[in-house]
């Protein structure tokens, strides 16, 4: 049978439950995923005075073909985007500025250092998101930045974050879609601290100074991101979930949840409904922790499906900003982007093909038997036929056919670097 014929049969199957598959496919087209640029070069960036990766972050593997400059990185992103259905966004860190060989300190970065990225985004119909980079720098060598005891060091990072929000605002104004400017810091201690409060007071004061400088919310959205621990901050992280949750709520900022930044028994999917009750918008960095925040490529696993279900069943596709955050140097980096992003979209499609309203009704009626039975049966409904049709309709390879393009790109481009 053809892809179209399989799709028509799937439509009939889902229609029995009131699911309009054509409507689902159209709706999915409008959901953007923010694809992180740093998968393509192992979070190295392109600073003239490039520093070793630090801040509790590690990238393992030495697969050939890593991007060594911004042009190569954009080329790799274009290849990945050509294999991913839909129109999406690209998420940049400050270390991906282009300064034409000039050493520009991070607190001196301006929109002009990202003009090539903006032109490229315009040419490709993409939105851009942004992150100040508060790691891999001499002023972060002791693991503290915005909470540092030194006022001079704090001011450096405060100014970097203020400038970053202005850059994000510029992205939004130029591209006609607001940038999410997200602040994550590595601050913490390897061993048990004797004072947890003082560093958090300094972080709060630093954030207050950063956000005292106004940006236009039509063009820039501010987010803060927590973490439970990192390499070198195993015992204490200043910017904990509780800290940022309270800060975001009190100061009308977005709280960004990274799926790798919690205890192994915590799930971000279980937090989404609570967050949506008290926040107009929520931001995600979807990653895959394996025993710890190891940033593995996103796979179509139970937690990813549950995250997508929570977004869809709560009618929050326009309220949850979905970004990705993983980096694997042990496999082809363009393939990593393709696998992870396609899986995120697959999970959303899968969630949109579930009769969520009927399942909610069963729960309200106390009919837990039918609820469980149907939730299990829908796991093997012909979702794959709809996914194949969606990929074909969007002009990207169906199923594993995209691997052949990756092989060709590796042979013709990546292997020659």
Active site residues: 184, 225, 227, 258, 261, 285, 293, 295, 325
| Cα separation, 23 vs 36, whole angstroms | 29
In a 10 Å sphere around its CB, with 0-12 CB exposed, 13-18 middle and 19+ buried, how is residue 58 labelled?
middle
Residue 100 backbone class (left: φ over 0; alpha: ψ -120 to 50; beta: rest): left
Q: How far is CA 130 from CA 84, 127, 175, 187, 307, in A?
A: 21, 10, 13, 20, 23
What SS3 class is residue 392? helix
Count CA atoms closer than 13 A to 88's CA, side-chain side. Answer: 26
What SS3 class is residue 361? helix
Residue 127 backbone class (left: φ over 0; alpha: ψ -120 to 50; beta: rest): beta
Nearest to 81 by CA among 321, 364, 415, 396: 396
- What are the E-state strand segments in 242-355? 254-258, 282-286, 320-324
Q: 305 with 311: CB under 8 angstroms?
A: no
Q: How far is CA 410 from CA 63, 65, 396, in A?
A: 11, 7, 18
Residues paired with residue 220 on neighbouring β-strands, in sequence order = 179
- What are the E-state strand segments in 53-166? 89-93, 127-131
CA angle 31, 36, 42 (to 5 degrees): 160
Residues paired with residue 283 on neighbouring β-strands, in sequence order = 256, 321
């Amino acid at each position: 049978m053809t892809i179209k014929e399989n799709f028509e049969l799937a439509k009939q199957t889902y229609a029995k439950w009131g699911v309009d598959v054509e409507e689902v496919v159209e709706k999915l087209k409008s959901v953007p995923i923010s694809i992180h640029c740093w998968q393509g070069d192992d979070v190295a960036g392109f600073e003239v005075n490039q520093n070793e990766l630090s801040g509790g972050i590690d990238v393992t593997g030495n697969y050939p073909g890593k991007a060594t400059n911004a042009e190569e990185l954009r080329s790799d992103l274009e290849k990945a985007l050509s294999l991913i259905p839909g129109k999406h966004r690209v998420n940049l860190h400050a270390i991906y500025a282009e300064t034409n060989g000039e050493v520009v300190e991070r607190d001196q970065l301006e929109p002009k250092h990202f003009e090539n990225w903006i032109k490229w985004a315009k040419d490709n119909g993409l939105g851009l998101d942004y992150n100040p980079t508060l790691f891999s720098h001499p002023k972060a060598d002791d693991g503290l930045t915005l909470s540092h005891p030194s006022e001079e060091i704090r001011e450096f990072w405060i100014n970097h974050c203020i400038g970053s929000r202005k850059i994000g605002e510029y992205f939004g104004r130029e591209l006609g879609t607001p940038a999410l400017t997200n602040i994550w810091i590595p601050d913490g201690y390897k061993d048990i601290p004797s004072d947890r409060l003082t560093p958090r007071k300094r972080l709060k004061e630093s954030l207050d100074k950063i956000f005292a400088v106004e940006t236009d919310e039509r063009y820039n959205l501010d987010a803060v991101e927590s973490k439970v621990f990192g390499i070198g901050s195993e015992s204490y992280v200043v910017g904990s979930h509780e800290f940022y949750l309270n800060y975001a709520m009190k100061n009308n900022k977005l709280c960004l949840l990274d799926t790798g930044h919690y205890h192994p028994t915590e799930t971000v999917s279980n937090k989404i409904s609570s967050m949506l009750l008290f926040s107009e918008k929520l931001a995600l960095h979807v990653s895959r922790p394996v025993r710890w925040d190891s940033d593995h490529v996103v796979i179509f696993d139970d937690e990813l499906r549950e995250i997508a279900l929570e977004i869809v069943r709560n009618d929050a596709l326009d309220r949850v900003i979905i970004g990705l955050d993983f980096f694997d140097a042990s496999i082809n980096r363009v393939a990593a982007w393709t696998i992870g992003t396609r899986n995120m979209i697959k999970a959303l499609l899968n969630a949109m093909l579930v009769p969520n309203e009927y399942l909610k009704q069963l729960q309200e009626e106390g009919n837990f038997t039918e609820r469980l039975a149907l939730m299990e049966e829908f796991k093997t409904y012909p979702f794959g036929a709809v996914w194949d049709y969606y990929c074909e309709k969007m002009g990207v390879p169906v199923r594993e056919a995209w691997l052949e393009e990756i092989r060709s790109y590796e042979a013709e481009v990546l292997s020659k670097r």
